[in-house]
Chain A
C-alpha cells in the first residue's frame, strides 16, 4: 500500500513537468520534441494511475499527506492526495482520454508555428495537471486549487487563437461564468470550515467510519446548514459543468481548437461538478431539497440544450449543446441519488463525446476549417475511418444497445423513474432528441451529396494516423465501455462498476436504505422502460437519417419555433439585455459620472477652495501697522473673555 503513496504525487507532477519544459522551451524545442514531451508525460501519469487503480480495487483508500497547506490555530488543511475508487476512476479517464487527445493534437495542431505549438502543449499539460489536482485533492481546498486551475486553462485554451476578438470574448465569457460559480464553491467551503472545522473528505463518509460520520455531521450541522452548503456547492457545479443558468459559456467555448473542446469541454473539466457532487454524496443525500433542485436543474438543462441542438448548423455547436444536455443527465442522476449511474455516464460520455469531437475535428481538418454542416455531406466516401468511428460514437450517445451510452443512460433513467415517473418522461424525451440531432449531424455530414465548393472537394482526404488511431481506440471504448455496468437483469453481478464504487457511496446507500428506501423496480417495468427508450430513440434516429441524407441547401430562413431554437431560445440575448447591458451602463455611469464628476470634482474642489480661500485671506496682510495692532488687541480680548467664561 505504501508503494502507491510513494508514487501518486508523480501523477500530477509529470504533467506539471511537461508544462514547464514546453512552456519555458517553447522557442527552442522542435515540434516533434514538444509533442513527445506533451503526450509522454500524460502517458506516464496514465500508467501510474493504472497502478493506483489496481491498488484500490480491493476497497482500499489511500491518503497521502505531504505538508500543511494552511495551519492556523485549530484549522489544519493539509496538502493531501486521496486515491480511492472514485478518484482513481477519474484519474484513468483524465489521463487515458487526455493522452489520446494529446496524440491527436500533435497532428491536428501541426500547422501552428513552432512556439505556438509548444505553447499549446504546455497549456494542455497545465490543464491536465490542474484537473488531476482537482480529482486527487483530499479536501475541498486542494480541490479548489485544481478547480481554479482548470478554469484558467480553459480560458487560455479557448482564447488560444487570441488574435481573433470573438474568440477572446468567448474565453472571457467562459472565465467570468466560471468565476460566478466558483464564488458559490468558495462560500460553501467557508461555511464548512466555520461549522465543521475541517474540509477533509474523510469526515463525510468513509466505509471504515460509517455511522460515526453521520453522527458527527448531525451534531455539527443543522439541516439548514447542509441544504445551504450543498446548494452553494451546486452553484459551483453549475458554473463548471455548464448547467442552467450558467451554461451559455460552453457553446461559445467551441472557439478553441477542437482537441481542446474534446478534452476540456466534453471529457474532463465539465465533469468536475459531477465529480465534486459525487465526492460530497453524503451531504447531498442528507439534503433532499438540494437533491430535488439538482435533479430539476439537470433535467431542464438536458431538455433545453437538446432542443437547441436540434437546429444548430455548426458541427461543433451541436456537439457542445449535446454535451450540455448529457451533463444535465448526469446531474439528474446525482439528483435522484444514482451516484454510480452519474459517474458511469461521466465515463461513457468521456469516451463517446471525445470520440465525436475528435471525429468532428478530423472532418473540419479535411474541410479546411469549414464547420458549417450545410456545406458538408457525402464525406463517407473520402474518410472511411472517421466515418465508421463517428457512426459508432453516434450510436453510443443515442443509447443503442449494446453500445456504452445505452447502459449508463438506462441506469440514470431507471433511477429517475423510481424517484418520479415525470423525470423519466422528460429524460426519455431528451433521449429521443439526442438520437435525432446526432443522426441529423451524422447524415448531414457523411451521407448524401457533397455540398461544399469544388476546391474543398479536391482537398478532402482521410486524416493521418495520429488522428485516426485515437479515434479507433475511443471508438472501441465507446462500444465496450458500457459493459462494465451491465444491469442486474441482464447478467447477475454484471454491474462491476457499482461494486467497485461501493465503498465511496456506502454512507449514502446505508442512509437511504435506513431512512427512505426506494422500492426496486420489477423486471417487467425495467424491460418496458428500456424498450420505450430504445425503440423511441431508434425511430428518431431513422427519421433523422432518412430526412437529412437527402438534405439540400435551400437558403430558406427558419420560421416559428425553429427560429427560436436556431437562436438558442434567445438566452444569450436575454442575458445580454438583463445582465450585461445594465452592468455596462452601471459601469459607464460610474466611469463618467461618479469618477469624473463626483470624485474628480471633489478633489479638484478641495484645491480650488484652498486657492480661493488663501487669495481672500491674503488681503488681511495689508501692511497697515494700525490694523495689525487692532487685530492683536481684539485677539487678546477674545482670549480674556474665553478665560472668563471657562472659569
Chain B
C-alpha cells in the first residue's frame, strides 16, 4: 500500500478515536468555558468564576 494512503488512514483513525475519547470524558460547563472534568481544572475554573 502507498505510504501516503497509510499515513492519511492513520491520521483519520486517530482523529476518529481521539474525538470519541474526548466525547466520552465527563464534562463540566463553567460559564462559557467547557472544561474536561479533572478535579484540578474544575477547581481552577470554579475559582475563576
A and B found bound together? no
Q: Taking beta carbons and an 8 Å cutoff, which residues of B are in contact with A? A: none
A interface residue numbers (CB < 8 A to B): none
